[in-house]
Chain A
């Protein structure tokens, strides 16, 4: 899909597109790290209790 949408829309330069792509990748990586961190922290805080839950 084009970024400009129509003739009067805003057209991003190649540099702006490149920087936006890099920002998006950085956000994705940060979210991935947070997911991994929350998972590990949960396991550590619960310890063996993670398996002891009512079925």
Chain B
């Protein structure tokens, strides 16, 4: 199924080397694209939370959450340098490309992790800081070091790490965990599997070569398409839940229902077309649409909140 020998060859670390790293390499270590999603969802969590947080403190809290996400990204790249080196998607990352030494990435990631958690605790509160610390730990130790290489459910459970940012933003503003922030967590949690499995459908060989037991590698593309559909069908009502519970108004409700139906429709197409060029196109469209779906839902949730259009709730 998998060839780990290529991965093992990349475990070797030079005893001594001169750093070739540019500033851009350190930025790349922080996974800026992932960070942008983290910052955006955390911003929405912070803004829709009840109460008032001074804009300067809100900005500082968001910066800490962003840096914490960057720390998790750097530590992930440090641990995963061996598998990154054998995957075409990741082999040009700073460590496998030889521009950043593993120990530099480790030091960079740990410094950012400790600094971001400490500053968030001082700027906002220690509940938010504790949640940020747990998120970094969960992403690095639970997802990267354990689940990613051991189970096809890796991104299902590991997806929790990406789902925490709006809860951290909410906690930074309120010092508590509210039901609305839990709903935002659940939206991202159930969004993650169809999003990543759609990507992994056309990256199966890459993951197999790296020895990563992604669902298409272990259970095959058919089972992956079936599970994508199940998660898409579960995601649709969860996406609408802030409106159903009365936390968001009808603008959000209509958007969430329509966007959820589109994702579910594309997941059905993906399952129907199977291993055909149309199926491959559907997988790529679903991947792209899923990113748009999440940005759209959180953007409209924020707009809805700013417009002051509370819903009445159906549940």
Chain B residues with CB below 8 A from A37, complex form: 60, 63
- For B122, give the chain A residue with the smallest CB separation: A41
A20 to B60, CA, bound (A): 28
Chain B's interface: helix, strand, loop or mixed, by majority? helix
Q: Which of A7-47 contact B (CB under 8 A)?
A: 10, 12, 15-16, 19-20, 22-23, 25-26, 37, 40-41, 44-45
A22 adjacent to B57 (CB under 8 Å): no
Any chain A CB within 8 A of the CB of B12?
no
B22 adjacent to A22 (CB under 8 Å): yes
A19 adjacent to B20 (CB under 8 Å): yes
Chain A residues with CB below 8 A from B56, complex form: 40-41, 44
Number of interface residues of A (CB under 8 A): 15
Any chain A CB within 8 A of the CB of B273?
no
Number of interface residues of B (CB under 8 A): 14
Chain A residues with CB below 8 A from B63, complex form: 37
B23 adjacent to A22 (CB under 8 Å): yes
Neighbour of A44 across the interface among B22, B54, B122, CB < 8 A: B54
Any chain A CB within 8 A of the CB of B26?
yes
A25 to B26, CA, bound (A): 13
Q: Which of B1-56 contact A (CB under 8 A)?
A: 18-23, 26, 54, 56
A19 adjacent to B21 (CB under 8 Å): yes
Q: Which of B153-179 contact A (CB under 8 A)?
A: none
Chain B residues with CB below 8 A from A20, complex form: 19
B57 adjacent to A44 (CB under 8 Å): yes
Chain B residues with CB below 8 A from A23, complex form: 19, 21-23, 26
A10 adjacent to B21 (CB under 8 Å): no
Chain B residues with CB below 8 A from A15, complex form: 20
A41 adjacent to B18 (CB under 8 Å): no
A-B contact pairs, 28 of them (CB 8 A): A10-B18, A12-B18, A15-B20, A16-B18, A16-B19, A16-B20, A19-B19, A19-B20, A19-B22, A20-B19, A22-B22, A22-B23, A23-B21, A23-B22, A23-B23, A23-B26, A25-B23, A26-B23, A26-B26, A40-B56, A41-B56, A41-B57, A41-B60, A41-B123, A44-B54, A44-B56, A44-B57, A45-B123
